């Protein structure tokens, strides 16, 4: 659906993109993650036709971007990082009289679509207010509405929830959820919790290159820490001596009532550990396999690059 091959873009001495390649499958919600200056916005600008790469190619729905006669803009809805509007227009005028006709939508169809979108993004009561007086959060909602006017098969969302309050964030993420499967979404953000919540596939970019691309669950599983934490009310006694001798155990540390057991393979170690704890008659309060958060994975990967 979205395919990028070896994109290179330099601004003077700065390599904004250094051979970026990625592939977004149809219907996926693709989380595009990276530290500041990694090249996320540059990639978005190239995909939306606002900038040209120095080299490399990109396609949306098999149409190559930047090739004459291959205008991809009717296939995409774009939300820039800081959406801007004509301050003298109202949301209704902007959607119905400006954006919709540019996509060939006129009359009653444009009117109906405008009403639907204003309802969806929670701006129905402000439909006839001047956009010039809107807060950043309201502009962000309006930005989402204008990107959806023509029901595009591909959505490029640059930091779609960064300016919203918690309630607004939830509404927008719920909206993205409703589009899952029908629309392919490339979503750049630095809010990892949101990526974890809505994205099926995650691509992490650093220094203009994609350093990893995987399904969310696979990515988290591949970076799982082989560590168990065990909390016991009556200490660990002889069980500690037993566990330290096991071949599958790498290291054991104890502090207060908690033992941390680092193992070679979590699946191999899980059952023997549970059985041994039962045999030792310990009063186990907690037995937990430590899962990494996306933040741990992100920091581990990007720090390695930087």
Contact residues toward other proteins (CB under 8 A) are: 45, 48-52, 71, 73-74, 76, 78, 80, 82-86, 88-89, 97-99, 101-103, 143, 146
Q: How far is the CB of 31 from other proteins (least distance, A)?
A: 21
In the complex with other proteins, the residue whose CB is nearer, 188 or 232, is 188
Q: How far is the CB of 75 from other proteins (least distance, A)?
A: 9
Q: SS3 helix, strand, coil % of the chain, rounded to 5?
A: 35, 30, 35
Q: How far is the CB of 98 from other proteins (least distance, A)?
A: 6
In the complex with other proteins, the residue whose CB is nearer, 50 or 221, is 50
In the complex with other proteins, the residue whose CB is nearer, 90 or 232, is 90
d(CA 43, CA 180): 22
Residue 280 CA to its chain's centroid (Å)? 45
In the complex with other proteins, the residue whose CB is nearer, 61 or 266, is 61
d(CA 46, CA 71): 13
In the complex with other proteins, the residue whose CB is nearer, 150 or 216, is 150
> Which of 58, 96, 89 has the alpha carbon at shortest distance from 75?
58
Contacts of 112 (CB under 8 A, 6+ apart): none
In the complex with other proteins, the residue whose CB is nearer, 52 or 300, is 52
Q: How far is the CB of 89 from other proteins (least distance, A)?
A: 8
Query: Token pair for residue 38?
Result: 């990694």
Q: How far is the CB of 192 from other proteins (least distance, A)?
A: 27
Q: What are phi and psi of 14, to 5 degrees?
A: -90, 125
Query: Token pair for residue 243?
Result: 């566990």
In the complex with other proteins, the residue whose CB is nearer, 46 or 269, is 46
Q: How far is the CB of 84 from other proteins (least distance, A)?
A: 3
Max distance between CA atoms of the chain, in angstroms, equals 80
Pairing label, strands 154-158, 76-79: parallel
d(CA 32, CA 85): 25
Distances (CA, A) of 136 to 127, 142, 150, 162: 16, 10, 23, 10
Find out whether 183 and 153 touch, Cβ atoms under 8 Å: yes
In the complex with other proteins, the residue whose CB is nearer, 127 or 266, is 127
Distances (CA, A) of 80 to 232, 256, 265: 52, 50, 44
Q: How far is the CB of 111 from other proteins (least distance, A)?
A: 15
Q: How far is the CB of 99 from other proteins (least distance, A)?
A: 7
Find out whether 72 and 78 touch, Cβ atoms under 8 Å: no
Q: What are phi and psi of 4, to 5 degrees?
A: -130, 130
């Amino acid at each position: 659906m979205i395919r990028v091959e070896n994109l290179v873009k330099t601004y003077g001495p700065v390599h904004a993109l250094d051979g970026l390649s990625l592939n977004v499958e149809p219907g996926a919600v693709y989380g595009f993650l990276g530290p500041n200056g990694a090249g996320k916005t540059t990639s978005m600008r190239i995909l939306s036709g606002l900038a040209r790469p120095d080299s490399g190619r990109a396609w949306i729905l098999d149409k190559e971007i930047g090739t004459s006669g291959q205008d991809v803009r009717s296939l995409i809805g774009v939300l820039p990082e800081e959406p801007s509007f004509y301050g003298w227009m109202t949301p209704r005028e902007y959607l119905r009289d400006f954006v919709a006709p540019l996509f060939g939508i006129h009359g009653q169809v444009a009117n109906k679509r405008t009403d639907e979108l204003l309802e969806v993004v929670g701006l129905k009561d402000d439909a006839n207010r001047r956009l010039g007086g809107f807060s950043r959060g309201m502009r962000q909602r309006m930005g989402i509405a204008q990107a959806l006017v023509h029901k595009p098969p591909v959505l490029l969302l640059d930091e779609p929830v960064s300016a919203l309050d918690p309630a607004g964030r939830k509404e927008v993420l719920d909206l993205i959820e409703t589009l899952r499967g029908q629309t392919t979404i490339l979503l750049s953000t630095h809010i990892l919790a949101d990526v974890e919540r809505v994205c099926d596939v995650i691509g992490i970019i650093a220094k203009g290159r994609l350093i990893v691309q995987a399904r969310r669950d696979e990515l988290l599983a591949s970076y799982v820490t082989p560590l168990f934490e065990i909390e016991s009310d009556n200490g660990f006694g002889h069980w500690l001596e037993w566990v330290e001798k096991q071949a599958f155990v790498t290291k054991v540390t104890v502090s207060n009532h908690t033992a941390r057991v680092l193992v070679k393979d979590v699946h191999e170690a899980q059952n023997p550990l549970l059985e041994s704890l039962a045999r030792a008659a310990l009063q186990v309060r907690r037995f937990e396999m430590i899962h990494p958060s996306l933040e741990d994975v992100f920091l581990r990967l990007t720090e390695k690059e930087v």
